[in-house]
Chains A and B, each alone.
Chain A
Amino acid sequence: MGSARILQDLSRAAIRASDPFRCAALYGYCVGRSAGKALEGVVRSFPRVARDFARAGYAPATLLDALGRSEDRRLVSLVAGNAVTPTQTLVYLTWHYNSAELSRVLAKHRNMRPELLEALPWKSDGAIAEAIAGNHGASAELLERISGAVSETGNKLLARNPAAPTAVLDKLWATGDIFVRGEVAAHANCSKTALEEAMRSDVILLRRKAASNPNMSINGLRAMASDAASEVRAAVVRNPRTSTCELPTTPDASARVRRCEARRGGLGAVLVDRLAADDDSWVRRWLARNPSVSREALAHLAQDKHEEVRRGVARNPGSPPELIAALARDECAWVRAAVAYRQDCPPELIDAFEQDSSLDVLAGVAQNPASRVHVLTRLAGHGDKDVRRAVIRNRSASAQVLDSLCEDPYPLNRACLAMHPALDSQALKRMLDDPDAQVRFTATQQYVRRLTGGSVV
């Protein structure tokens, strides 16, 4: 049977069963056919389901487009507010409706193109102008034009909009309150003059923001490295323009600053040694997770009395096999779990985890693509639904292992299973009639996707 014919049969069955979920999943593949209207009709006949789709992140784009073109104002407004609504639908909504309320929702949408934002009636509606001020898709030119039309709230949104041009920021610096000025000082387009004023300000917030500015001069950073306020010094350390060679050799009095040091890449050996011996466990936690730390330092941190420091080492991609093997026997389950989730974990270590009493460890093993078939087969029969779902989420799980999970009583597990590319097509087909709506939706979507190779027939 050809795929078009199968699709037709599936659609008929979904319509006959009056199942809005199967219909929604099929919709994208039947646009332009008479079945498309009928499928949409079934979805629309369940107002609550239609509204749920209109606001859902998982809604098919074609369905959102259809719902956006309906005469139901509530549905249209939900589609306009849905972050995954495609630009083409937003184009339609922008040109087709003349509603201030809808325009305000559209003005916030991240998929709005600059010329669409331009077309909204921002001159006559302050709330629209304000929403555009906060839209990161707006052009510098538009932001400049609306900058005169927005209130204090709009100014705050403008000051943190990455597209805001220097001229606008200068104006905001001159007129804004301390919070607006703070945003200007941190902005990549902030003028040199404003930045220097911020640097010399009495207000800690402004100095801290200036110290975090990606264009701050090296000299400026050097000057602020000895600032009286620890939050400013911390911002200097965090700024990638501060070279790690510039970090002070003597420990900063504030743990806040030392924690930031421990997060920096490319730390020198002396500094690492100093941080590894720090009294503040957070300094050591950050260091343990730092991928640039040497094996020697990691070996030292792997002995730390604080379990979260040891876990950091166990998650560190730079930790060598012998450390990982040692941490696999850690007394703390959360440290062992960190090892169990590592894809470079040797199979014999994973095998040893199989008898672990911790669900976190077992879930790590179940999800690990390096786990062997016999381990996955056994965990697929585990009593805990989260462990079974971890097997389902394992992208190396075989069709046979997955097949044993088709009747999992937990609906979410079946929905996840339907998404697995290795699931046998016959098994997937059986899920089309699942009692759970979410499972039917996902299974139908996946089944059709396989059938059509993802393209509209």
Chain B
Amino acid sequence: MAEILVIASHRSGELNPGTLEVITAATELKQATGNKISVVIIADKPDQYVKALSVGGVDEIIKVSVPQAEFQPDYYESVVLAVADERKPQLILAPHGVDAWSFMPVVAAKRRYGCATDVFEIRYEDGKPVAVRAAYAEKMHMELDFPHKETVVLTIRGNTYKPSETSATPAISEFQAPAVEPRTRHIGFHAPDTSGDVDIAQAEYILSIGRGIAEEDNVEQFNELADQMGFTLGCSRPIADNGWLPKSRQVGQSGKTVSNCKLYLAMGISGSVQHMAGMKHVQTIVAVNTDAEASIFNIARYGIVADLFDIAEELKQHFQ
């Protein structure tokens, strides 16, 4: 029976919930291909993760002890390669994320396995895996295949699959980690700097205003709205240039890139190239603009063609 390896991800003793999503992805493939699912947990004390990983779909948990608690690429690569050499899996999966970026492509490159990152759909066609991922800032989707590859390495985009929740009793095994000399050394973690002014780059919910505001006197009501909604107020360059909001609130190429934003509500922003560059990592963009042809609607998930003052006034009614 062919095998799917899932490489568990964890940080500071907490399992990365993306791991359970990847298990779901693997389980769907298992139903299609009959593959066995083995989860590889690499940690200084792998036992602490076994319970959390004993979920529906998992056939085996492979515990691998390494000398370091936190992620280290040399340990991860050598372990995954050694397990893969022995098990010859069809797929090696891990949650797409900072750690995966540091080791999954290396695993693939060293054995010339097939490889695709940030995948949100996997299917089998004629017995061969096809991976679907996005390109051009999500404007296009691409299908990749892996000609002549017996093993394919994939990192799976978060929030695509529901985390596996049912409990199960998989077989537990241990695997001896190969001896390697790690070439990076963990020194410590640093929390984000939250001192000083509002950090628009780290804000999760942003209400951003642009040229459509027209006058300084109109800024305050959006300050008030943002406050009522629990959003951080940001702006495009013309607003900061006029001195209507601090420069630290400006989003865009010459301002800040918002990197942690879940919802970006753009009001009266037509969408200059520079501004849109600053919001490319936003999960959900809602645009409000009177001009139905404004560029901002091209990157928005939701669009509202209306006067921003009317919408602001009405939105206020819902957040007291």
Contact = CB atoms under 8 A, between A and B. Distances in A.
A95 B224 CA distance: 47
B254 A412 contact: yes
Given A57-B270, A83-B293, A285-B220, A359 B247 contact: yes
A360 B245 CA distance: 9
B271 to A, nearest CB: 11
Contacts of B270: 57
A187 interface: no
Nearest to B237: A412
Interface of A is mostly: helix
A420 interface: no
A315 B216 contact: yes
B227 A282 contact: yes
Interface string B287-303: 00001110100000000
B274 to A, nearest CB: 8
A19 to B, nearest CB: 20
A253 B241 CA distance: 39
A53 interface: no
A55 interface: yes
B184 interface: no
A69 interface: no
Contacts, number: 50
Contacts of A78: 293
B227 A385 contact: no
Interface string B183-219: 0000000000000000000000000000000001100
A343 B167 CA distance: 69
A231 B317 contact: yes
Interface string A217-233: 00000000000000100
Interface residues of B, number: 19
Interface residues of A, number: 35
A231 B291 CA distance: 29
Given A259-B224, A282-B224, A315-B216, A390 B246 contact: no
Nearest to A254: B320
Contacts of B291: 83
Given A282-B227, A289-B220, A81 B293 contact: yes
A21 interface: no
A82 interface: yes
A12 interface: no
A363 B243 contact: yes
A337 B243 contact: yes
Interface of A: 55, 57, 78, 81-83, 105, 108, 208, 231, 256, 259, 282, 285-286, 289, 308, 312, 315, 334, 337, 340-341, 359-360, 363-364, 367, 385-386, 389-390, 393, 410, 412
23 contacts: A57-B270, A78-B293, A81-B293, A83-B291, A83-B293, A208-B317, A231-B317, A256-B320, A282-B227, A285-B223, A285-B224, A315-B216, A334-B246, A337-B246, A341-B243, A359-B247, A360-B243, A363-B241, A363-B243, A364-B243, A385-B254, A386-B247, A390-B241
Interface of B: 216-217, 220, 223-224, 227, 240-241, 243, 246-247, 254, 270, 291-293, 295, 317, 320
10 smallest A-B Cβ distances: which pairs? A81-B293, A341-B243, A360-B246, A83-B291, A364-B243, A359-B247, A334-B246, A386-B247, A282-B224, A360-B247
